[in-house]
Structure 1
Amino acid sequence: MEETAGDHQACRERPAASHLSWAGDGPETRSGLALGHHRPGETPMSHHLRTLAVVGSACAISATLLSSAASAAPGSPGPARVDAAGDATALKRPAWTRLRAEHSKKCVEIPGWSKRQGVRADQWSCVKQANMQWALWLVQAPGAGGVRHHIYAIQNRNSGLCLTVDAKRNGSSVTQRQCRNKKYGDNYTKQLFWYTPDNRFFSQYAKGKCLDIAGASKRNRALTTVWKCSYAKNQRFKNIK
């Protein structure tokens, strides 16, 4: 039987009564308690006290059930729970890695250790710190639903947010946003990438566009974007520990 907050409120507000009827009231229950009837030789006062004791027990059980339901409520997406990974959320989290651009030897990061949504990814001299570390969650493997490639969602270790392509045109920003799952449609696809053996990330949202360091810049703070896929070194990102 499902317990509701309304039932619990009723426990707190219901006045004590000398007669309380439950469904099926009448015959002795398995516990020997039929609250609507006096037991043989029972005085009105002892019947009243017995009724109050059982009501108190029922309300205590109600409070326990509500507390358990509240503690089981799902938490916010984060490093331990990646919604964007869809069916892959049950998998063991992949190892944290850094994505080093081949042309600059710098790594993709979220600047300023920001945990805010909408912050653009950029590149910075590679160091081992959480805002520069990523988990590549395998969302789809070849053969699943006609998929021909390994498709990943990319989650930042520091913020728990996922790399997201904001639009389909050349030069569109790549930001961090709440990790999504399939029910979000395009907002889910924006976070999916095909990672090729030659270290390119093909966007599954902006078709024909790849993860790119804008203008092939080698400077720190050069922005990460998407651009028409080529074999240029500023579109190749090697996984390093």
Structure 2
Amino acid sequence: MNTSAWYKLVNSNSGKCVDASGAGTANGTALLQWSCGGQSNQQWQFGATDSGYYMITNRNSAANRQVIDDPAASGADGTALDTWTQDGGANQQWLPVGQSDGSYHFVSRASGKCLDITGAATADGTLVEQWTCNGGSNQSFQLASS
């Protein structure tokens, strides 16, 4: 994974991108799926931590060091994910697990759960959550150059 590149995270089920809602830059900005475009709130960069884990920074809020975050390090299925200022916590670290089709599942270091599009929905505005890893296409993401 090129840690200097910016990527779109495109869901294999819906073909839509992981998006920081409303181009927000504040802690707690919701993650949604949205039709892919060129906007910076759909662009993500991987920063290596250790043991294959990465923090995933949003380009729109990179100056604030906003990364994909599991609020309160919850281990619960259905916990909606957001962006938060990078603090090095395990709840902000994700392990990309390569799939045979070139896509990835992203597994939380804190919970062992996967980045997931709620209910395998395909609509714009659907929340990005964590859920027990199950191999579903709603937990699978292609990395597209931005």
Same fold judged by TM-score > 0.5? Answer: yes
Q: Does 2:106 correspond to 1:204?
A: no
- How many residues end up aligned between the 2 structures? 135
Q: CA deviation at 1:133?
A: 0.1
Write out aligned runs for 1:77-88 (5 A).
none
Q: Distance in 2 between matches of 1:179 and 1:218?
A: 29
1:128 counterpart residue number: 38
1:114 counterpart residue number: 24
Larger radius of gyration: 1
Q: CA deviation at 1:153?
A: 0.5
Q: Distance in 2 between matches of 1:210 and 1:119?
A: 19
Q: CA deviation at 1:173?
A: 1.5
Q: CA deviation at 1:93?
A: 5.2
2:125 counterpart residue number: 221
Q: Does 2:72 correspond to 1:170?
A: no
Percent identical pairs in the alignment equals 30
List structure 1 runs of 4+ shifted beyond 6 angstroms: none
Q: Render the CA deviation track for 1:77-107: whole Å, top value 9, x for unaligned.
A: xxxxxxxxxxxxxxx9520000000000000
**Is the CA contact 2:79–2:130 (under 8 Å) kept in the aligned structure 1?**
yes
Q: Does 2:141 correspond to 1:237?
A: yes
Q: Distance in 2 between matches of 1:109 and 1:94?
A: 19
Which secondary structure state, in structure 1, belongs to the residue aligned with residue 41 of structure 2? helix
Name stretches of at least 5 consecutive residues in structure 2 with no aligned partner. Answer: none
**Is the CA contact 2:3–2:48 (under 8 Å) kept in the aligned structure 1?**
no
Q: Which structure is higher in strand share?
A: 2
Write out aligned runs for 1:1-241 (5 A).
94-140=4-50, 147=51, 150-160=52-62, 161-166=66-71, 167-181=74-88, 188-198=89-99, 199-207=104-112, 209-241=113-145
Q: Distance in 1 between matches of 2:93 and 2:135?
A: 20
Q: Distance in 1 between matches of 2:82 and 2:10?
A: 17
Which secondary structure state, in structure 1, belongs to the residue aligned with residue 46 of structure 2? strand
Which secondary structure state, in structure 1, belongs to the residue aligned with residue 29 of structure 2? coil
Name stretches of at least 5 consecutive residues in structure 1 with no aligned partner. Answer: 1-91, 141-146, 182-187
Q: CA deviation at 1:227?
A: 0.3
Q: Render the CA deviation track for 1:179-215: whole Å, top value 9, x for unaligned.
A: 113xxxxxx10000110112100111112x1000001
Which residue identity lines up with residue 57 of structure 2 in the other structure? Q
Q: Which structure is higher in helix share?
A: 1
